[in-house]
Structure 1
Amino acid sequence: MNIHAIAAIYKFEMARTWRTLFQSVVSPVISTSLYFVVFGSAIGSRITEIQGVSYGAFIVPGLIMLSLMTQSISNASFAIYFPKFIGTVYELLSAPISYVEIVISYVGAAATKSAALGLIILGTSFFFVDIRIAHPFMMLLFLALTAITFSLFGFIIGIWADNFEKLQIVPLLIVTPLTFLGGTFYSIDMLPPIWQTITLLNPVVYLVSGFRWSFYDVADVNVFVSLGMIGVFLAICLLIVAWIFKSGYRLKS
């Protein structure tokens, strides 16, 4: 394992966060804070509690997940797309560093940045609502697994995309709508039975539900099912990344 190469790429990607601090950290925190104000005040005044939790506190895990997933995808996809765009990816592929080490470097940096952002948003939420964390270790586990999994997913998108527009298609048209429809602002128990069944086809439901359970001991689905779904998605992403490097898909052409 070439630790020096991994550290070099990792430090370079982490340094980019400081150069784009407003876009990487400040903007997502402000956007999420607006959700707290608008949804917590406007809707919270009409929906006092869900499953014994105040509405303002209930939406916090879902909002953190929304930022975590979108930022993980954005960080990882841009990190690998930009070297492709300017042509330096060929220098990376010819360097004495394995594909595994490349993935660890880029995905590790993206996951670190998004997980740190998630913790910052969590800290910010304490200024708006009263939050308790029933299972801190499980909360950190869900946070880390989600950050790593969606950073891998973003890495795949960055390799697949051949222009900047495609980098935004999946997060904007797929991930964000699935998150909004995945129990971020409500419990699926509030839906009619037929829609509850349909909603369970949305993989984001399991992520939000498991993460919320780590806070309040309430969940729409079993927490072990949630962990299993994250594990399945992580395994799929790993298999796709392995195939990409084995075949050279959009890397060697």
Structure 2
Amino acid sequence: MNLHAIAAIYRFEMARAFRTLTESIASPVLSTSLYFVVFGAAIGARMGEVGGVGYGAFIIPGLVMLSLLNESISNASFGIYMPKWSGTIYELLSAPVSFVEVLAGYVGAAVTKSMLLGALILVTARLFVPYTIAHPLWMLAFLLLTAVSFCLFGFIIGLWADDFQKLQVIPLMVMTPLTFLGGAFYSIDMLPPLWQKISLFNPVLYLISGFRWSFYGVADVDVGLSLAAIVGFLALCLALVWWIFRSGWKLKA
């Protein structure tokens, strides 16, 4: 294992993040804070409880996931797309580093940024809405598994994209609608029976449900299914990255 190569890629990506601190950290925290003000403090104070939890506190896990999913994909996809765009990826491919080391450097940095963002949002939420974490270790586990999985997914998108517009297609056109419709602001028990069944086909529902369970002990689906869903997605992303580096798809063309 070439630890020097991993550290060099990791430091480069983290330095880029701190150079663009406003866009990578401050902007998503500020945007999420507006959700807390509007939905948590203003509207939530006038709504009843959902599953025995105050509405303002109920939406915190969903809002964290909303930011975490989009930022994980964006950070990782932009990180690997830039070497492709500038042509320096050929230097990386010809260097004596394996795909595991490349992956560890790029995805490790993206995961660090995503975890930092998640922690900042949770701290910010405390300023607007009181909440508790019933299972802190499971909360960290779900947060880490989600960050790793979607940073891997973002890495794949960065390899697939051949222009800057494609980098935003999945986060804006796919992930954001799925998150809004995945129980970020409501429990699927509040939906008509038909829509409850349709919601079960939304993969993001399982992520939000498991993460919310770690806070309050309430969930829309079984926690075991949530854990299986995120682990299965992680395994799928790892298999896709392995195939991409083995075949050279979108790398050697």
Q: TM-score, normalised by structure 1?
A: 0.99
Q: Which amino acid is the alignment partner of residue 125 of structure 1?
A: A
Q: CA deviation at 1:42?
A: 4.1
What 5-or-longer segments of structure 2 have no aligned partner?
A: none
Answer yes or no: is the 8 Å Cα contact 2:41–2:128 preserved in 1: no
CA root-mean-square deviation: 0.7
Per the alignment, residue 137 of structure 2 pairs with 137
Q: Deviations over 1:64-93 (max 9, x none)?
A: 011111000000000000000000000000
How far apart, in 2, do the equivalents of 1:41 and 1:135 lie?
24
- Shift of residue 33 of structure 1? 0.2
Give the Cα separation in 1 of the matches to 2:42 and 2:30.
Answer: 18
State the alpha-carbon separation in 1 of the partners of residues 202 and 32 from structure 2: 22
1:164 matched residue in structure 2 = 164
Query: 1:126 — aligned with what?
Result: 126
Give the Cα–Cα distance (whole angstroms) in 2 for the partners of residues 175 and 239 of structure 1.
21
SS at 1:34's partner residue? helix
Return the letter of the residue paired with 1:143. Answer: L
Question: 4+ residue runs of structure 1 moved beyond 3 angstroms?
Answer: none
Alpha-carbon contact 2:41-2:129 (below 8 Å) kept: no
Partners of 2:126 and 2:48 lie apart in 1 by 18
Match of 1:117 in 2: 117
Q: Does 1:155 align with 2:185?
A: no
Q: Which amino acid aligns with 1:215?
A: F
In structure 1, what is the equivalent of residue 186 of structure 2?
186
User: What does 1:78-97 correspond to in 2, within 5 Å?
Assistant: 78-97=78-97
Deviation track 1:192-218 (CA, whole Å, cap 9, x = no partner) reads: 111000000000000000000000000
CA distance in 2, matches of 1:58, 1:215: 9
Aligned length: 253
Q: After the TM superposition, which residues 200-215 of structure 1 pair with which residues of structure 2 at under 5 Å, given as runs?
A: 200-215=200-215
Gaps of 5+ in 1: none
**Aligned to 1:36, what secondary structure does the other structure show?**
helix
| Conservation of the 8 A alpha-carbon contact between 2:182 and 2:204 | yes
Name the structure 2 match of 1:235.
235
Report the equivalent of 1:17.
17
Instruction: Give SS of 1:44's match.
Output: helix
Determine the structure 2 residue equivalent to 1:57: 57
Question: What fraction of aligned residue pairs are identical, expressed as a percent?
Answer: 68
